[in-house]
């Protein structure tokens, strides 16, 4: 039975602090510490406590060469090998674990990037409950809990040495940027189909398809993307759009069309919206939610095991979200983006294999409510008039 180490494994030496009554009785501070090794197996979506012997074995077993099990047990003991197999840190040739590990290998992930992505995914997190717990524990006093905030700007020269730059004249773009305000108060009215389609077109549609090389097509969009690959897909949860039934959809960027995936009732759509945005109450009622997801293999095909490849995916989503903001603002609509999302819930709803494709954020847009009930950061008073 040949075995090898999983493709991407990270080990973290961690100190765990626990209350120690014996230490307190003996006159200590009552805090005990325990050092342990944590194995991070990215695609397993969990942290795995391992022993020091386990850690030594992981560092000695090849992730590329298959080794007979009896040879590994002679070198590291059957107990260690059995434990590592049980955790999925070792895989048996031809097994389900081997096939899943193969998906990650073939995608071209870099280990540190895979650890970051898979280790930061949420499932079933309720951010509103987290906020309530914080308020109960600390009275909502962020400054008291975290201490003074870092300065709002970094200054690297004396004010007398600064070189003042000319200010750009007013323009439609300048006005659009001033009016761009994250929305936390959405109107219950449905979104016009023309406005819904316009935002998707300007943010996600392909303006041209280029046959760059045999077997390689590149898309020209309104935003940049590393290598012109545009690996970010748009999945949608439609709640209230005229002419579009509530449901889950995928956007086709070349045909500028929706691909229906699952019809939803209004209550079910709202429940999914709640889970997608981690129960953040001010985003739940947006008429249209967009889940930008990364097709990892599309980017990593060119930037295989590249230290900047994952960063490029995050940049792509940032470019797209700002375009959603500006396209919505131009139409008199409002938009938001949040990274506090339940990625695993989104993957399950759309039937995504997280080893191949996963969400990096949730965006949304629609009509802004006439009355503000939740705080919106609008220091220019572009949306809400100054008080008093």
* pLDDT tens, residue by residue, 327-365: 999 999 999 999 999 999 999 999 999 999 999 999 999
Q: What is the pLDDT of residue 189?
A: 96
Write down all domains in the chain, each with its CATH number in brackets: 2-107 (no CATH), 172-366 (3.40.109.10)
- Identify the weakest region by mean pLDDT among 115-124, 180-189, 230-239, 250-259: 115-124
**How confident is the model over 270-310, as pLDDT tens digits?**
999 999 999 999 999 999 999 999 999 999 999 999 999 99
Q: What is the pLDDT of residue 354?
A: 93
0.95 cut: is pTM over it? Answer: no
Task: Decide if pLDDT at 161 tops 70.
Answer: yes
Q: What is the pLDDT of residue 29?
A: 74
> What's the chain's length in residues?
388
> If pLDDT is split at 50, 70 and 90, which confidence band does 26 have?
confident
**How confident is the model over 7-24, as pLDDT tens digits?**
999 999 998 877 776 766
Task: Decide if pLDDT at 180 tops 50.
Answer: yes
Buried b (16+ CB within 10 A) or exposed e, 40-62: bbbbbeeebebeeebbebbeebe
d(CA 197, CA 241): 10
Both tokens assigned to 74: 């002679």
Coil, strand or helix at 24: helix
**Smallest Cα–Cα separation from 51: which of 75, 78, 84?**
84
Looking at residues 362-384, what average pLDDT do you find?
96
Residue 17 near residue 30, CB atoms below 8 Å: no
Q: Which helix (H) or strand (E) holds 58?
A: helix 52-60
- Cα-based torsion angle of the residue sequence 216, 217, 223, 225 in order, rounded to the nearest 10 degrees: -10
> If pLDDT is split at 50, 70 and 90, which confidence band does 132 have?
confident
Q: What is the pLDDT of residue 86?
A: 96
> If pLDDT is split at 50, 70 and 90, which confidence band does 388 have?
very low
Looking at residues 35-59, what average pLDDT do you find?
91
Q: What is the pLDDT of residue 24?
A: 66
Looking at residues 244-255, what average pLDDT do you find?
98
DSSP 183: -
Task: Decide if pLDDT at 266 tops 80.
Answer: yes
Q: CB within 8 A of 223, min separation 6: which ones?
A: 203, 316, 319, 320, 323
Q: Which helix (H) or strand (E) holds 216?
A: strand 216-220
Q: HSE of 369 in the Cβ direction (CA atoms, 13 Å)?
A: 16
d(CA 106, CA 301): 9
> If pLDDT is split at 50, 70 and 90, which confidence band does 145 have?
confident
Residue with tokens 């975290």: 146
d(CA 191, CA 328): 11
Task: Decide if pLDDT at 142 tops 80.
Answer: no
Q: What is the pLDDT of residue 138?
A: 67
Residue 92 near residue 3, CB atoms below 8 Å: yes
Highest mean pLDDT among 19-33, 106-120, 359-373: 359-373
Q: What is the mean pLDDT of the chain?
A: 93
């Amino acid at each position: 039975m040949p075995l090898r180490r999983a493709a991407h494994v990270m080990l973290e030496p961690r100190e765990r602090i626990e209350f120690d009554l014996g230490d307190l009785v003996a006159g200590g501070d009552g805090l005990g510490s325990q050092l342990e090794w944590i194995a991070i197996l990215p695609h397993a979506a969990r942290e795995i406590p391992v022993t020091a012997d386990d850690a030594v074995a992981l560092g000695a077993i090849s992730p590329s060469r298959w080794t007979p099990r009896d040879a590994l047990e002679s070198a590291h003991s059957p107990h260690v090998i059995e434990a590592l197999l049980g955790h999925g840190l070792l895989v048996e040739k031809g097994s389900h674990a081997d096939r899943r590990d193969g998906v990650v290998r073939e995608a071209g992930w870099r280990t540190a990037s895979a650890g970051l992505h898979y280790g930061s995914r949420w499932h079933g997190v309720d951010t509103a409950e987290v906020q309530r717990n914080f308020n109960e524990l600390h009275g909502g006093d962020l400054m008291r809990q975290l201490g003074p905030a870092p300065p709002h700007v970094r200054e690297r020269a004396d004010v007398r040495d600064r070189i003042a730059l000319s200010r750009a004249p007013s323009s439609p773009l300048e006005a659009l940027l001033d009016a761009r305000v994250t929305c936390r108060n959405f109107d219950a009215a449905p979104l016009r189909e023309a406005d819904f389609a316009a935002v998707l077109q300007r943010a996600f549609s392909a303006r041209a398809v280029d046959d760059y090389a045999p077997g390689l097509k590149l898309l020209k969009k309104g935003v940049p993307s590393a290598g012109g690959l545009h690996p970010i897909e748009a999945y949608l949860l439609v709640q209230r759009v005229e002419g579009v039934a509530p449901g889950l959809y995928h956007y086709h960027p070349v045909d500028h069309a929706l691909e229906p995936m699952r019809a939803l009732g209004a209550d079910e759509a709202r429940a999914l919206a709640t889970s997608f945005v981690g129960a953040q109450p001010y985003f739940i009622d947006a008429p249209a939610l967009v889940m930008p997801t990364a097709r990892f293999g599309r980017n990593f095909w060119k930037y295989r095991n590249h230290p900047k490849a994952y960063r490029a995916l995050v940049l792509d989503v940032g470019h797209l979200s700002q375009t959603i903001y500006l396209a919505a603002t131009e139409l008199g609509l409002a938009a938001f983006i949040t990274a506090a999302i339940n990625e695993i819930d989104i993957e399950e709803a759309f039937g995504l294999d997280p080893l191949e494709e996963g969400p990096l954020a949730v965006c949304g847009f629609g009509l802004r409510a006439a009355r503000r009930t939740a705080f919106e950061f609008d220091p220019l008073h572009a949306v809400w008039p100054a008080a008093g």
